[in-house]
Amino acid sequence: ILILLVHATLITLNNGCSNVEIVSLTEWGGKTPLPLTDLKLPQKHIIISHTVTPHCHSNTQCANRMRSMQEYHMHQLGWPNIGYNFVIGGDGRVYEGTG
């Protein structure tokens, strides 16, 4: 799973990539995050990374992966939400993280 931080995905969508499906936090069953601090825009950098988790092949598997990562980040690491802004799942969909 490839991670896109900041709003690079949304910028791409606004420029004509209408075939990209974004799965909202609600749609993948994510928990309500704790209050966050807004980013100062424009951002000078974005970071592309990977999650080092097993590959997901279906919508159900990828949604489960997102819930698992959010659970770990919030309850084990004490973060206010999943640590990624967006996650590209193995099913080809873009999952909303912190956004």
Per-residue pLDDT, 3 = 47
- pLDDT 10s digits, 51-77: 888 899 999 999 999 999 999 999 999
- pLDDT 10s digits, 16-38: 667 899 999 999 999 999 987 78
DSSP string, the chain: -EEE-TTHHHHHHHTT-TTPPEEPTTTTTPPPPPP-PPPPSS-S---EEE--S----SHHHHHHHHHHHHHIIIIIS--SS-S-SEEE-TTSPEEES--
Domain ranges across the chain: 20-31+55-98
* CATH number for the domain formed by residue range(s) 20-31+55-98: 3.40.80.10
**Average pLDDT of the chain to the nearest whole number:** 85
First and final C-alpha spacing in the chain: 16
Question: Is-contact 94 14, C-beta < 8 A?
Answer: no
Confidence check: pLDDT of 15 > 50: yes
Question: Is-contact 98 82, C-beta < 8 A?
Answer: yes
